[in-house]
Structure 1
Amino acid sequence: MNRAQLLAPGRLALTAAGAAGLVALATLAPADGAPTGPQGPQGEGASLAPVSSASTTCPGPELSGVRDVDDIEVAPRLAVATAPQSMLSVTPGGASGLAAAGQKVTPPPERGAATSLPLAANRPATVEASGALAPGLAAGQEWVSTRPELRGLATVPCAAPGADLWLLAGGGAPGRQERLVLTNPGANEVTVDLEVLGRKGPVATPTGGTVVPAGGRTALLVDAVTGAEESPAIRVRATGGSVRAVLSDIWLDGSTPVGAETSLPTAKPATRQVIPAAAVGTSGSLRIAVPGEQQAVVSARILGKDGPVPVPGGGVARVSGRSTGELPLTGLKGGTYAVEVTSDVPVVASLWSTGRVGSGLGDFVWGASTEPAAGLVGGAFPRTEGVTRTVSVVASRAPATAELAWLTGGQWRTRSLALAQDTGVTVELGAAEAVFVRRSAGSGDVRAGVVSMAGVPGARLVSVSPLVAAAEVSRVSRAHPMP
């Protein structure tokens, strides 16, 4: 049995009883970027121990909260899960000597359990876990609509905030509306500056920063920032703290709804970008932005189970510095792929694809590039009727073995995936409520994402959601007070 308890508006806390007594170790910082196995390197005078608390931020309903603009009602649900013990590289709780913090939930949720509940209107949500439940926390939100004026499926992972983010999504077509949602999980207000790049270079934006209140969020119409730019890339820079940023993109072609998606920040600028879960439909394109002044020569290829293959048509493009470009994806059979983008200068990248045929109904996805997993990554998914999940796991740069676990029908299932260099595999998960992946062997960069689908061919709803870091350990000081 598992329960969730709302302790305050927009805040969900999970706790578990830990060992009694005082804790002699002082947590210094999360160690998400360090290997999480017992063989991982340790800083001088420090060791790794299970995290005693974890939190993750969810944007809340993406289509509400813009000043002087009508809200578009959807009914998002929040899902929360913790990884099964078999996927953890540490033993949390009493064995580590770290006690639970915060208010205890009675009865406490069990490790490896999942729960789902409605999200409050116009509010972000912060999910917190402590004690034995802290390692391997994942959360996500999702809504689905088939109304005459709004059709789409939007699945969004809850994740940590950042101070310098890139969002590549949206466009200037008639009937298209994008909303930028900025969430501040911190205790102080944060000022956000927005910069936009387009096909012809930087796009003039309104002057002045956007203030995001402490523990709150601010939503903006993207048209007010990007104008009619057909290929925008938005840079979000925060001062005074960090923010979570997502971009909701909905499209009405005349009176025909042709899709909705909520896109996430890309990986930081680099000469290699990998999109782990690209749901390719009838047509699509790669959007590439060059933050620097120098022109980029960009190439793209598909990473499948049989190895890399070029994108049909060559998959090569030149993109001017401080600009964006689009690389068409044509001639690909519909399905789920991983896509690798390489460049001679740092770029950011995202993929757009639609399953629309002719002038009929449709839906589309935005799939952003992601950072390689430094440890455990995971996602939690609401119990949405008719929605099934497929996970895509990819290894680049070198071979790797990845462990996969997913929860469906109350049972955890596992699979070990042997991945050659620059290959990807997909696994159908059914109505999965939680998914976790970790690299268990090899040195390849592992990334993973989940494609969620509902409906029938020709009228499918689809969304892409990357698996994100699920912290397991922190660095702790070995120093003890002098007697």
Structure 2
Amino acid sequence: MSRRTSVRLVATGARLTAGIVVSAACVAGAVIAIPAAWPTIASAPAHTTVKPVAGDTLLSCAGSFLALGRDAAQASQLSVAGTPKLVSGASEGADLTSAELGMSDVVGATAAPGFTASPHDRAPALVAAAQSVTVSADDLSGFAASACRPPSMESWIVGGAGTTGSSDILLIANPGAVTATVTFTEYGSAGGTHSSELVVPAGTQSTVPLVAGSAGESSPVVKVTSSGAPVRAALQSSLIRTLDPVGIDVQDAIAQPQKDFSLLGVRALVGSDDDDNASTAVRLLAPDADATVTLQPRNAANGSKVGDPKTVKLTAGQVGSVNFSALKPGLYAIDVKSSTPVVAAAWQTTGFAKGSDFAWMTPAPLLTGTTAFAVAEGPAPQLHLQNATAEATTVELTPLQGGATQRVALQPDGAATVALSASTTYTLSSPTAVRAAVVYSGIGLLAGYPVWATDAAAAPITVYQR
């Protein structure tokens, strides 16, 4: 082999060896780099938070108390049996304007009352209104009071009956400027549902006899859903036993099913050992799934538990009832805890003979901050307060028309009752969550309604740039 050939072989071998080493290094580097995070280039999209301007606050009132079939020749005709007394108020700077909702299907009634308030300083107006009515006639007798409420897209009516002696009417108000199509879904004690629809023109209140969808049903529950525009639903009830009138009521709707809530202002007046003649009972419905429900009465004066809780199992879509016949005369809250969402309302009566009265109480929502409420004319009005937290708090009550602020201390999970002035509007302020209800009681007179938060402002919206 020549010297030149040897040099060439050595050089080639060196290049091969170097190539192998470099390749191995590259492979090793790649293997080592695989688990490592690859560098990325990213930037957060530009965004801003916008708080929508609050819209007008709309309050609809039930209006005149109606009688069904007073003209024997027109059994389905509605006429006015009692004209309500209204009270309303607004905080300083809020502009409260009266409104009227036409009632073309009622003889003698020109309109149902309502109110409109424009926002103040980009926030919903702090306003409230309520009404009460007393009726004394051969076919209707009793006292009813109710708050004027904003409309909603969904609500529940838990009360009334479709049996003989009951003359119950659904009131559907559309205070907006767009026609609403309303769907009623009726539930009963035997299970199953029945649905129907109603078109409610803008600026009107329509009436639907409860018996239209719940004939013969002793314990109906009605879901009210609307499309096109929100509506305010309420139930007017009256009852006759053996030709004698034994009470009237105007009942609030419930916003939605819940798992944990409280029924305030539940009054026991007639003690009884007979569940069939209980003067206090709670109607319940688990609309979507079976539920196990626990009900615990509490003393309205201090929030202490009264007796042992009652537990009931509900079949989905089937209305149930729990009687509280053993409660001693007094004012109570009934705490409701359920394994699945339910709707419920408490029924109470002053008796079962002529001259009696009854009322339904619906769940009292949680209140935090400042809200306004109105106290309609009526006998001995009281505010039933309940602390919804495990911390002590102080609630402030201030008349909107001017007057001294009253401070009410509530112990953890405690309660209190406070005397109120009739025909007055108040603000209620609390730094933590509380519940409240206005209640009335007199000889043969009974009524009440929960305090609802002032119409909420729209939540802030975050807008992103794409």
2:338 to 333, 343, 350: 343
Contact 2:181 2:226 in 1 (8 A): yes
Q: How does 1:51-200 map to 2 (within 5 A)?
A: 53-63=56-66, 68-83=76-91, 121-130=109-118, 135-200=125-190
Instruction: Tell me, in whole angstroms, the C-alpha distance in 2 between the residues paired with 1:101 and 1:289.
Output: 37
Q: Counterpart of 2:328?
A: 333
- 8 Å contact 2:64–2:80 — kept in the other structure? no
Does structure 1 retain, via aligned residues, the 8 Å contact 2:364–2:451? no
Q: Match for 2:390: what amino acid?
A: A
Q: Compute the displacement of 1:365 (Å).
A: 0.8
Give the partner amino acid of 1:285. A
Residue 299 (structure 1) aligned with residue 283 (structure 2): no
- Count of residues in correspondence between the two structures: 393
Q: Which runs of 5+ in 1 are unaligned?
A: 1-42, 86-91, 94-99, 104-119
2:64 aligned counterpart, secondary structure: coil
In 2, the alpha carbon distance for the partners of 1:313 and 1:341 equals: 13
Displacement of 1:288: 0.8
Separation (CA, whole Å) in 2 of partners of 1:290 and 1:345: 7
CA distance in 2, matches of 1:132, 1:295: 43
CA distance in 1, matches of 2:349, 2:78: 27
TM-score (norm 2): 0.76
Please point out which of 39, 45, 52 is paired with 2:49.
Answer: 45
Amino acid at match of 2:197: G
| Shift, 1:378, TM fit | 2.9
2:385 aligned with 1:393, yes or no?
yes
Partner of 1:225, secondary structure, is helix
1:402 and 1:437 in contact (8 A); partners too: no
Which residue is 2:273 aligned to? none
Paired residues of 2:375 and 2:438 also in contact (CA < 8 A): no
**How far apart are the structure 2 equivalents of 1:469 and 1:362?**
32
Which of 255, 266, 269 matches 1:278?
266
> Would you say 1:469 and 2:463 are equivalent positions?
no
Q: Which amino acid aligns with 1:195?
A: T
Shift of 1:366: 0.2
Residue type of the partner of 1:354?
A: T
Say if 2:350 and 2:357, in contact at 8 Å, map to a contact too. yes
Deviation at 1:414, TM superposition (A): 2.4
Per-residue CA deviations over 1:69-126 (Å, capped at 9, x if unaligned) read 231421112211124x6xxxxxx58xxxxxx7999xxxxxxxxxxxxxxxx9252333
Q: Compute the displacement of 1:173 (Å).
A: 4.3
Change in Cα spacing, 1:388 to 1:318, as seen in structure 2 (3 Å) is same
Q: Which amino acid aligns with 1:343?
A: S
More helix by proportion, 1 or 2? 2
SS, match of residue 212 in structure 2: helix
User: Gapped runs of 5+ residues in structure 2?
Assistant: 1-46, 99-107, 271-278
What does residue 213 of structure 2 align with? 225
Question: 1:371-396: per-residue Cα shift (whole Å, max 9, x none)?
Answer: 212443332244x4x63310101122
Corresponding residue number in structure 1 for 2:199: 211
Q: 1:187: Cα distance to partner? A: 1.0
Match of 1:30 in 2: none
Once the two structures are TM-superposed, the CA of residue 158 in structure 1 deviates from its matched residue by 1.0
Match of 1:418 among 370, 392, 409: 409
Among 390, 397, 401, the alignment partner of 1:405 is 397
Question: 1:323 offset after TM fit, Å?
Answer: 1.2
Q: Is the 8 A contact 2:248 2:358 kept in 1?
A: yes
Alpha carbons of structure 1 residues 477 and 320: separation in structure 2 relative to 1, 3 Å: closer
Cα distance in 1 between the residues matched to 2:245 and 2:280: 18
Looking at structure 2, the residues matched to 478 and 289 of structure 1 have their Cα atoms a distance apart, in angstroms, of 38
Is the alpha carbon distance of 1:188 and 1:314 closer, same or farther for their aligned partners in structure 2, counting shifts above 3 Å? same
Q: Is 1:237 aligned with 2:245? A: no
Q: 1:309 to 1:125 in 2, by over 3 A?
A: same
Q: CA deviation at 1:65?
A: 9.2
Write the distance in 2 (CA, Å) between the matches of 1:277 and 1:406: 21
Q: Which residue of 2 aligns with 1:319?
A: 314
The alignment yields a C-alpha RMSD, in angstroms, of: 3.1
Q: Which has the larger radius of gyration?
A: 2
TM-superposed CA distance for 1:171, in Å, is: 2.2
Relative contact order higher in (CA < 8 Å, ≥ 6 apart): 1
- Percent of counterpart pairs with the same letter? 24
Contact 2:66 2:78 in 1 (8 A): no
Distance in 1 (alpha carbons) for counterparts of 2:446 and 2:402: 25
**TM-score (norm. length: structure 1):** 0.73
